[in-house]
Structure 1
Amino acid sequence: MCGRYTLLADELEILDEFGLEGEIADYEPSYNIAPGQRVLAIIHNGKEKRAGYLRWGLVPSWAKDEKIGYKMINARSETAHVKPSFRKLMESKRCLIVADSFYEWKKTESEKQPKRIQLQGRKLFAFAGLWDKWEQGENTLFTCTILTKEANGFMKEIHHRMPIILPKEKEDEWIAPVKIPSEKAKTFLDTLHTEELTAYNVSSYVNAAKNNDVKCIQPLT
């Protein structure tokens, strides 16, 4: 599961980290990115890498109602290659979703404790994502989902699932502008190594998606 994350880097850091040219239109950092909101993603259009915004919550091109997106913020990497909603996207509509930490809630006997989780070795990273274009009448949406996998040893203490964070050297390969069998995309994800993570407790203030300021990431004392 991945239901909230952050992106606090400035625009120049992002451009440099991902080898992008030009500007990111309407870029805004966020302490509390939630489903249904705009998320910064990177695709390769066959000529160059491009960064822009997608709506978080996949609406497949064939969907009758865009509300389905709220049920499809994540896709299980173990089965995405055979699921009707994701199979064709695994073949040719792969994206990077830019982040610098994510939140997860650890169940205790009395509550769910929110934690902020980061990579130990680098600040910015990318989730493995899938995107699609949905059109109905005059309405057009570009939406995405974050791929997840079983938690590693570190994350199992917090939650049984975790988002797939792409190793730096695998980012361009994931979004390479070539069509590949969905099974091959699954194999690619299965063989990725997981970088070291670190986590600390934050306030339940982050639970409300409307809260979006530095209090979301302040460590509990």
Structure 2
Amino acid sequence: MCGRYTSTKPVEVHAELFKARAGSLFVEPRYNIAPTYDVLACRAMPEGRELTLMYWGLIPAWAEDKKIGYRTINARAETVAVKPAYRTAFRRRRCLIAADGFYEWRPGKPRKQPYYIRMKDGKPFAFAGLWERWGEPEGAEPVDSCTIIVTTANELISQRHDRMPVILAPQDYELWLDPEVHDREKVMPLLKTYPEKEMEFYPVGFGVNSPKHDGEGLIKPL
């Protein structure tokens, strides 16, 4: 699964990477993004690709309240096309979630050891995501929410966890974002395990264990 990650690059960097407009959007560097936080994502709209903030934890349009989002931070690649919570978004509302690293934990005593995982070159990348718009009752502002798709871990990450987020290659962004592509046979091949040769991981301090903590020190190697 993916339960914590980082997105520390300026919005302009992701706008260039995703070929999307950002407008006046500004987001502080974030080193400990947790579920239910607002996260930076890119989606295709009628007027073109845009960067926006979304609630992390997908809330289907049919949900009675936002609490379902606690259970939908990740969607399994193997079932995302058929699960009721995700299947409509998978067909019509795919997105890119801006990131440059994520965390996993190794079991241990007295507590689990966190590890930071990133690209060897330190560059930003995109998780494969889905988004939905949920209308709050009594005319309140609608909530745009998202989930991160996860798949089988590569050899590097499997040393810490058996799942990892789907990381999309830049050449696949256009197909993934295209709302006119509804055929899952065209899209499913993109949900593959990212090659370990381009990635690295190292142990970090226990500060990341609390979502109250943030800052560059969280990704400092032990």
Q: 1:54, 1:153 → 2: CA distance? A: 31
1:165 to 1:63, Cα distance in 2 relative to 1, 3 A: same
Deviation at 1:120, TM superposition (A): 2.0
Answer whether contact 1:91 1:179 (CA < 8 A) is retained: yes
Instruction: Write out the 4+ residue segments of structure 1 that deviate beyond 6 Å after TM superposition.
Output: none
Deviation at 1:22, TM superposition (A): 4.8
Partner of 1:186: 188
Q: Any unmatched runs of 5+ in structure 1?
A: none
Any idea what the Cα deviations from partners look like across 1:61-114, whole Å, max 9, x if unmatched?
A: 001121010111000010111111111111110000000111111123553110
Partner of 1:74: 74
Identity of aligned residues (%): 40
Query: What secondary structure, in the 3-state scheme, does the structure 2 residue paired with 1:42 have?
Result: strand
1:22 to 1:70, Cα distance in 2 relative to 1, 3 A: closer
Say which is worse superposed, 159-168 or 17-26, in terms of deviation: 17-26
Partner of 2:107: 107
1:118 to 1:40, Cα distance in 2 relative to 1, 3 A: same
Q: 1:61, 1:11 → 2: CA distance? A: 28
1:159 to 1:171, Cα distance in 2 relative to 1, 3 A: same
Partner of 2:47: 47
Answer whether contact 1:40 1:97 (CA < 8 A) is retained: yes
Partner of 2:157: 155
Q: 1:177, 1:149 → 2: CA distance? A: 22
- TM-score (normalised: structure 1): 0.92
Query: What secondary structure, in the 3-state scheme, does the structure 1 residue paired with 2:83 have?
Result: coil
Deviation at 1:188, TM superposition (A): 3.3
- TM-score (normalised: structure 2): 0.92
Say which is worse superposed, 26-35 or 1-10, in terms of deviation: 26-35
Partner of 2:84: 84
Q: 1:126, 1:28 → 2: CA distance? A: 18
Paired positions, count:
219
Which amino acid counterpart does residue 179 of structure 2 have in structure 1? P
Partner of 1:208: 210
Q: Any unmatched runs of 5+ in structure 2?
A: none
Q: 1:22, 1:160 → 2: CA distance? A: 35
Aligned-residue CA RMSD (Å): 1.7
